[in-house]
């Protein structure tokens, strides 16, 4: 998948412009605060239906303007070129179009443009809270399986209802037995969707692990085996996972087991006034030679594992869907040693379109991959640079 060009209007500090990209490596150079990450954010928005930095629409619209518009020309794996457009109003309105046709919601965006961002925060994939790992796995699985995405959405909706009801029950509302009946009904529905989510997460962990190992070894050398394990919170799921050697039973069977577990913990949940178990508490373990990297990994080890996870996600997508995401590297090379930097640059640009943002041009000294295009970014304006000018003057 490749982004051929982008036309930007009123996106943060970026000047109105059209940029034609290289299908291989695109380099954005510039001092701090000039607009490099803003461009990556604009290119990424369509893939996620949101800002990868978590910014709200009114933060993305240029100061003093009411609306922004971004149009991307994207080449799919088949060679077909599609026009992806989005417009956001400061007041919250938004318009999405694919080849001129309006799209209804975010779910329609999934898989149209697939991107992966790597920035200094990505280390949180290994180090950070379980939510980051769940998000990573869920996004990866959603790209492969629309049914998984539907289960995930339904799970979140039902969980909200259940949480509200538990809250009420604890405060003494919904008594006279009806509250329990209602809770049982929500639990049945939640168990069904939770089964879909847990099966998807287990499947994704199994798909990712071999690629994670290969990628990790390619970057770090033979320093030991990396494992990626699904760690579900639901005991019924954990039990099946162990007895099935990493595989989970059919959706119906698993839903039955989860439902029984929800029944079993119902009284405690009512007493505590909140859900005590479910896929919203799941985690994934990343270990090197059996040692948990979240707790014990060095800076370099965790960073390398996080990069291998992200490249692994691309490999899974390619293995399952023959699709390569567009890669975004935002300011990460300064944190890797030269050897690993160069290996990463070469590994990633072999098969992907890559965008690299850097405030230090010596990150790419001596590296001139095929079809390199470079821009100097200054006050939101882009100037194409070539040859020696690429490394001259930070
Ligand atoms: N809505 C907006 N309208 C206009 N300018 C904005 C808006 N939002 C952010 N900016 C400006 O964008 C600039 C930040 O751009 P960006 O984050 O892309 O920097 P960068 O080049 O990636 O820098 P660094 O190297 O520090 O990461 C800041 O100067 C900020 O004031
Ligand atoms: Mg930046």
The model's pLDDT over 300-344, given as tens digits with 9 standing for 90+, comes to 889 889 999 999 999 999 999 999 999 999 988 776 777 778 888
Is the pLDDT confidence value at 362 over 80?
A: no
Beta carbons of 193 and 244 less than 8 angstroms apart: no
Give the separation between CA 321 and CA 318, rounded to whole angstroms. Answer: 5
Look over the chain and give the mean of its residue pLDDT values, rounded to a whole number: 92
User: Phi/psi class of residue 272: alpha, beta or left (left: φ > 0; alpha: ψ in -120 to 50)?
Assistant: alpha
Half-sphere exposure of 194 (CA within 13 A, CB side): 30
Q: Which residue has the higher pLDDT, 95 or 361?
A: 95
Is the pLDDT confidence value at 221 over 80?
A: yes
- CB atoms closer than 10 angstroms to residue 387: 9
Ligand 2 midpoint to CA 37 (Å): 4
Half-sphere exposure of 86 (CA within 13 A, CB side): 26
Name, in order, each residue with C-beta under 8 angstroms of 168's C-beta and a sequence gap of 6 or more.
174, 179
Which residues does residue 18 pair with via DSSP β-bridges, in sequence order? 7
- What's the pLDDT at 346? 84
Is the pLDDT confidence value at 293 over 80?
A: yes
Ligand 1, atom nearest to 35 Cα: 18
- What's the pLDDT at 33? 95
- The ligand minimizing its distance to the Cα of 34 is 1
Q: Which residue among 14, 37, 333, 360 is best mutated to probe the pocket of ligand 1, counting the most ligand atoms within 8 A of its Cβ?
A: 37
Beta carbons of 88 and 67 less than 8 angstroms apart: yes
User: Phi/psi class of residue 252: alpha, beta or left (left: φ > 0; alpha: ψ in -120 to 50)?
Assistant: alpha
Question: Which domains, from first to last, does the chain contain?
Answer: 2-114+323-390 (3.40.50.300), 127-293 (1.20.1050.90)
Ligand 2 midpoint to CA 219 (Å): 24
CA distances from 200 to 150, 195, 371 (A): 11, 8, 38
Is the pLDDT confidence value at 111 over 80?
A: no
The per-type count for the chain, helices as H runs and strands as E runs, is 11, 15
Ligand 1, atom nearest to 38 Cα: 18
When mean pLDDT is compared across 6-20, 71-85, 217-231, the lowest value belongs to 217-231
- What's the pLDDT at 69? 98
Q: What is the pLDDT of residues 243-252, one digit of tens each?
A: 999 899 999 9
Residue 107's pLDDT band (boundaries 50, 70, 90)? confident
Is the pLDDT confidence value at 110 over 80?
A: no
- What's the pLDDT at 231? 97
Ligand 1 midpoint to CA 35 (Å): 5
**Average pLDDT, integer, range 261-266:** 97
Ligand 1, atom nearest to 64 Cα: 3
Name the residue with the closest Cα to ligand 1, atom 24: 32
Q: Which residue has the higher pLDDT, 387 or 67?
A: 67
Helix 251-272 vs helix 235-243: angle between axes, to the nearest 10 degrees?
Answer: 150
Q: Which residue has the higher pLDDT, 346 or 101?
A: 101
DSSP-derived 3-state class of residue 89: strand
Ligand 1 binding pocket, CB closer than 6 Å: 12-13, 30, 32-38, 59, 61-63, 331, 357, 359
- What's the pLDDT at 274? 96
Is the pLDDT confidence value at 175 over 60?
A: no
Ligand 2 midpoint to CA 260 (Å): 49
- What's the pLDDT at 367? 78
**Average pLDDT, integer, range 190-198:** 98
């Amino acid at each position: 998948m490749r982004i051929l060009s982008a036309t930007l209007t009123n996106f943060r500090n970026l000047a109105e412009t059209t940029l034609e990209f290289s299908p291989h490596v695109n380099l954005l150079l510039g001092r701090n605060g000039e607009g490099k990450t803003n461009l990556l954010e604009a290119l990424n928005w369509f893939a996620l239906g949101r800002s990868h930095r978590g910014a709200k629409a009114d933060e993305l619209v240029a100061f003093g303007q009411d609306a922004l518009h971004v149009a991307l020309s994207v080449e799919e794996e088949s060679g077909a070129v599609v026009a992806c457009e989005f417009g956001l109003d400061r007041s919250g309105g938004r318009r999405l179009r694919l080849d001129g046709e309006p799209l209804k919601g975010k779910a329609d965006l999934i898989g149209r443009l697939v991107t992966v961002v790597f920035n200094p925060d990505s280390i949180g994939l290994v180090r950070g809270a379980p939510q980051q790992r769940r998000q990573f796995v869920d996004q990866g699985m959603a790209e492969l399986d629309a049914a998984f995405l539907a289960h995930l959405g339904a799970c979140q909706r039902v969980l909200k209802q259940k949480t509200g009801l538990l809250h009420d029950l604890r405060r003494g509302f919904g008594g006279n037995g009806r509250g329990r009946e209602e809770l049982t009904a929500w639990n049945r529905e939640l168990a069904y969707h939770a089964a879909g989510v847990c099966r998807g997460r287990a499947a994704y962990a199994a798909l990712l692990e071999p690629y994670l190992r290969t990628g990790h070894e390619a970057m770090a050398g033979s320093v030991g085996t990396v494992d990626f394990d699904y760690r579900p919170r639901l005991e019924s799921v954990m039990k099946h996972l162990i007895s099935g050697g990493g595989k989970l039973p059919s959706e119906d069977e698993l839903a039955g087991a989860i439902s029984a577990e929800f029944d079993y913990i119902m009284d405690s949940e009512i007493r505590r006034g909140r859900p005590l178990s479910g896929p919203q508490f799941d985690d994934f373990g990343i270990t090197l030679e059996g040692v948990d990297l979240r707790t014990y990994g060095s800076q370099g080890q965790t960073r390398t594992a996080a990069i291998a996870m992200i490249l692994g996600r691309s490999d899974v997508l390619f293995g399952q869907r023959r699709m390569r995401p567009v890669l975004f590297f935002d300011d990460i090379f300064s944190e890797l040693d030269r050897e690993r930097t160069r290996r990463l640059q070469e590994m990633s640009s072999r098969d992907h379109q890559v965008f690299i943002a850097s405030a230090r041009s010596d990150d790419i000294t001596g590296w001139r991959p095929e079809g390199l295009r470079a821009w100097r970014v200054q006050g939101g304006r882009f100037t194409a640079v070539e040859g020696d000018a690429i490394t001259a003057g930070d």
